[in-house]
A and B are shown apart, each in its own frame.
Chain A
Amino acid sequence: MTPFLRNILVVARRDFLSIVATPTFLLFLFAPLFMIGMGALGGFGASQLADSARGTGRVVAVVGPGDVEPLREADARLRDALPGGKPATLELRVATSGVDPVTIAQEKGRDTYAVMIGPLASPRIVEREANSRSGRYLALLATEVLRARAAGSIAPAAPRFESLTRGGTSIAAQQSIGFGAVFVIFLLTLLLAGQSVGMLAEEKGNKVIEILAAAVPLESVFLGKLIGLLGVAILFIAFWMAMAAGAGFVALTQIDPASVAQAGASAPQLAVAPATGWPFFILAAFLYFVMAFLLLGAVFLGVGAQAATVREIQMLSLPITIFQVAMLSLSSAAANAPGSRLATIAQLIPFSSPLAMAARAATDDAKAVHLLALGWQAIWVALVVYLSVRLFRSGVLSGRRDWRFWKRTKDVAADTASRR
């Protein structure tokens, strides 16, 4: 091991241990629980809302007694074959004299999207919104009944269904995998790399910085701090992955075999795969996370090293966060348009490159390009660290007046004052 690497590891080890071996770290580690809790609460509420809404939505057909059964059958046939969201529940009523579709549409307690009344050949359809799907659906049902009546009974087609088990992942699904990767990497880096902004404040505060600066090159101090924090981040992620896997396993053992088999039946749906295949994609996404983390962490660390006070640190981290969000929108736009010029730009700009390249791994099966991209990003990590160190050296180590670290000691000031 080269001395430079060893220095990095010594610093990283210290930082890692000092972060992990504190009670606050537990709070940090479990912070996502709050998020999950809130999310679950919100999701539960939303699904409740959706459920109750689904129960009350309806379309109504007020028709002659002979049309009720054919309509019901037509509804059963068509409802499941329609792509997209299912039509609202069909309510059938036998026409009596003096019914007013508008009154039905305005009945309390239920959402009525459309009401059809009159003979099937020329019905009157009252809809809540013009040209709504519900209105069309009622018309379609009427036509279907008329057509069946005219054609007599035809044996329905008897298809044999075969499912594509592999290789059939649609571009759209891959794009959403790509987008998911972009978002997850972004969220993790933002949450975890942001911690690095205050890391050098500790050394400046307790004066250890001079010991470090004397003993090892500042580059290895900066890199060591980044890698220590990266270790914390990986621990954090590994912990939550293990939790998720554990929860999944427990859930599996709780469920009875029959429903597991049933879940297996829907497995083909799960078989969407990124273009490079899952193992490669996950590895690539992890490496891109590391790169994104190091890049963003280096920027935060460098900026934080310049700050003299905690307030300055907080003020300075806002512009970086905004910059990072800009990079997120660039990369997600790129994820939605693979192969476009925008995508290429996003892959080249070093700060969006990890995100955009992770998205690319989902949609493009070229693999060698990722090595290139990782190298490119690594160069930028080195560059940012180098620049931060240069700035730090020229600012702090040349002793600008406002730096606490080289601030004259009190007795010096007193001495100069007394000499006057």
Chain B
Amino acid sequence: MNDFSVEAKGLTKYFGAFRAVDQVSLEVPTGSIYGVLGPNGAGKTTSLRMMLGIVDPDAGESRLLGGHSPQTVRHRVGYLPEERGLYPGMKAREAIAFMGALRGLDWAEGRHRAASFMSELGLERVIDEKIRKMSKGMAQMVQLIGSIVHAPDLIVLDEPFSGLDPVNQERLEMLVRRERDRGATILFSTHVMAHAERLCDRIAIIARSARRFEGTVDAARALLPMQVRYTPRTDDPALAQMLPAGAERRGEAWQFPIENDAVEPLLARITASGHGVAGLSIVRPALHDAFVHIVRQVDAGFDADPEADAIEESEA
């Protein structure tokens, strides 16, 4: 027994000659909310599918919930695929109970939980409505409930927020947190940083088929220097010499990045200079910036390496 709900090692998948996933390893601590971030086509979905044993990897292996093969712990796992799909002729309550039954949940219990989940998420009006009569977002919420109705220990959601309105996104975040509090581990993929930033204990960034970063959200943000925004009281052009080289003037304010250990010296210099402080903020960049930074770097590396690019081109 160990404390990881997902342990994937060296997962690799080829589609023809194109390496869609390259040596991706992932360790998701039990009881955490873990985000897999990456641009479109990075290989997130394929990685998740391999982790769950839906697609066989060409290399590497995946263990779930303390060293079990994915096939043996199906009833303890919940999965929302990226390609949403439900039987259109089924009623919502039945669809949820059906998905629960597939994972070993008793039918009656499934119907019961379906109703309470749906009323809680503001869907009580459509509990006995057929799926085909629902809006896409509603159906997606139904499918989401279906993937967690059996109270799984590991919940894997592929792009769960896409296609939901802000209210439902909010509800989904609430649901994810509550499932974590229940003791479940949640692994989800997304390319929208805001959710990851709010929810995730740890993240992995996948770009161009490989894992490019792994760690906490703060660690990712720490990859970029902090941003300073300084507004002096006096308007003196000589001020620029006191500031680091990259400083730019934006209206009244100056903006520039700053390394961790340069903060206090800067403050000392500002105080000593006598230009005064009308406004000063020193903030970590958002996850968004860190993400864009990492992905740009990877892309730049690929553009410099025409051979790797050629493979990508021929497949695209």
Interface positions of A (Cβ within 8 A of B): 3, 6-7, 10-11, 14, 18, 22, 202-203, 206-217, 393, 397-399, 401, 405, 408-409, 411-413, 415-417, 419-420
Contacts and interface: CB of A to CB of B under 8 A. Distances in A.
B54 A397 contact: yes
Given A217-B71, A393-B56, A411-B40, A208 B85 contact: yes
Nearest to A416: B316
B85 A207 contact: yes
A416 B81 contact: no
B101 A214 contact: no
Contacts of B104: 3, 6
Majority DSSP secondary structure for residues of B touching A: loop
Contact of B41 (A210, A397, A399, A416): A416
Contact of A398 (B39, B56, B87, B313): B56
13 contacts: A3-B104, A18-B87, A207-B83, A208-B87, A210-B83, A211-B79, A211-B81, A211-B102, A214-B52, A216-B74, A412-B41, A415-B41, A420-B313
Contacts of B52: 214
B16 A401 contact: yes
B85 A206 contact: yes
B88 interface: yes
A150 to B, nearest CB: 87
B233 interface: no
Contact of A215 (B55, B84, B103, B312): B103
A213 B71 CA distance: 10
Interface string B67-108: 000010011010101111111111000000011011110000
Interface residues of B, number: 37
Contact of A206 (B77, B86, B299, B312): B86
Majority DSSP secondary structure for residues of A touching B: helix
B69 to A, nearest CB: 12
Contacts of A6: 104
A215 B16 CA distance: 27
Contacts of B88: 206
B74 A215 contact: yes
A272 B56 CA distance: 58
A221 to B, nearest CB: 9
Given A18-B89, A397-B55, A409-B82, A212 B39 contact: no
Nearest to B102: A215
Q: Which 3 A-B pairs have the closest CB atoms?
A: A207-B85, A215-B102, A416-B316
Contacts of A399: 15, 46, 55
Contacts of A412: 40-41
Given A207-B85, A212-B102, 20 more contacts: A10-B101, A18-B90, A207-B81, A208-B86, A210-B81, A211-B102, A214-B77, A215-B74, A215-B99, A215-B102, A393-B56, A401-B15, A401-B16, A405-B83, A413-B316, A415-B39, A416-B41, A416-B312, A420-B313, A420-B316
Contact of A14 (B84, B87, B299): B87
A57 B41 CA distance: 84
Contacts of B54: 210, 213-214, 397
Nearest to A411: B40
A3 B55 contact: no
Nearest to A205: B85
A99 to B, nearest CB: 80
A202 B88 CA distance: 10
